[in-house]
Structure 1
Amino acid sequence: MNNQLIKLVTTTCAAILLTACATTAPTSMSHAPVAAYRDAIDLAGRLSVNYERDGKPETLSGKFNWSQKGERIDVALASPLGQTLAKIIVTPESATLTQTDQAPRVAKDIDSLTAQTLGWSLPVSGLRDWLQGYATGPGGKRFTASPASNSVTTADGWQLTFVSWQDENAAQPAPKRIDAVRAATATSEPLALRIVIDAQG
């Protein structure tokens, strides 16, 4: 076989290999944003909370169910074994929190109600967005998360990181794990949340 023929065969093989690689390599969707915001969602997952109460660090972990329909939100918090600890209803008019064997407690906003009752504030207004991969950034700018753009500091001081995704190569990836950290302020203690979404509908 002469040199010219060897060169032709080598070039052809290389072209075939490059074509095969190009057609079989997975297409990364890491820059794709999350799906459009929905007014009605149902989610279930796990929640871990690190907070301070009376100057002492506290940790809480458990499960949650989140149902959102329009302006109403229903949240159920449960122990790791599934025992219901509290049920929360939030509407534009008020927030109601009911713990097992206790009378319902009502307040104008859920953050202060949960802080008084549970010892830490559940940021429901933020979670409406965060659970779907959205947030309100500095200056009121709308933030839309993606695997390539996964962190933001919100207008009200939360440092959000969308750590993992249900499928980061999906056409519209959905959040799997969200870490939210808020530093101490003059009116609130430091708080760190880890949210893992196990099921959504």
Structure 2
Amino acid sequence: MNSSRRTQLGALLAAALWLSGCATPARQLPPEAAFWAGRIAVQIQSQPAQSLSAAFELQGSATQGELQLLSPIGSTLAQLNWTPENAKLSQGAHQWSGTSLDELTTRLTGTPLPMAALFDWLAGQATAPAGWQVDLSQWAKGRIQAERQSPAPAVQLKLVLER
């Protein structure tokens, strides 16, 4: 093999290795994991009042999943991943890890969200964790509303699912 050919092969190998290092790792969720997308709004009746509204993509289950909050132009505002062993929240350059999904949803939204119940609500089951009430009367139209009165402050959660 001549020197020029070896140089070309070496460059090709280097480029392939460099590109493989840039590849995004495959998601850890099984391919049959449930998936939902739409809009989410969280209002917290604190002093001062807090609110969050974003597009979302949610997949997985209460034990293992991923939640992405997206801006109106589709850029990722935050990403929350969880498994039975741990949870991770990424917001821009900031990352937090822990074993408590409540802790990370509080950091993300200002209040702990009932993620296990949320998956039940998406399936049309009116599970009511402590302090929460859910309204699934518009579930068939892709609308879910839930409220928490206690502990204070009161929280309203609204989901509008894409068709």
Q: Give the corresponding residue for 1:51.
A: 44
Picking from 144, 151, 154, the partner of 1:190 is: 154
Task: State percent identity of aligned pairs.
Answer: 33
Residue of structure 2 equivalent to 1:163:
137
TM-score, normalising length from structure 1?
A: 0.59
Q: Which runs of 5 or more structure 1 residues have no equivalent in the other structure?
A: 1-38, 137-153, 167-174
1:132 aligned residue (118, 123, 126)? 123
- Residues 183 and 70 from structure 1, CA distance in 2 versus in 1: closer, same or farther, beyond 3 angstroms? closer
Give 1 or 2 for the bigger CA radius of gyration: 1
Given that residues 62 and 119 in structure 2 are in contact (C-alpha distance below 8 angstroms), is that contact kept between their aligned partners in structure 1? no
Task: State the secondary structure of the residue aligned to 2:104.
Answer: helix
Asked whether the 8 Å contact 1:40–1:70 carries over to 2, the reply is: no
Corresponding residue to 1:180 among 146, 150, 153:
146
* Structure ranking higher in helix proportion: 2
| Partners of 1:71 and 1:92 within 8 A in 2 | yes
Aligned to 1:149: none
- Which of 1 and 2 has higher RCO (CA within 8 Å, sep 6+)? 1
Please list, as runs of the form range in 1=range in 2, the aligned pairs for 1:1-201 lying within 5 A after superposition.
Answer: 40-53=33-46, 55-68=47-60, 71-102=63-94, 104-136=95-127, 154-166=128-140, 176-185=142-151, 188-199=152-163
After TM superposition, which residue ranges in structure 1, 4 or more long, deviate above 4 angstroms? none
Q: What residue ranges of structure 2 are gaps of 5+ in the alignment?
A: 1-31
**Separation in structure 2 between the aligned mates of residue 69 and residue 126 of structure 1, nearest angstrom:** 10
The structure with the greater share of residues assigned to strand is: 1
Report the count of equivalent residues. Answer: 132
Give the letter aligned to residue 108 of structure 1: T
Query: CA 1:52–1:127 in 2, change beyond 3 Å: closer, same or farther?
Result: same
Give me the TM-score of the superposition, normalised by structure 2. Answer: 0.71
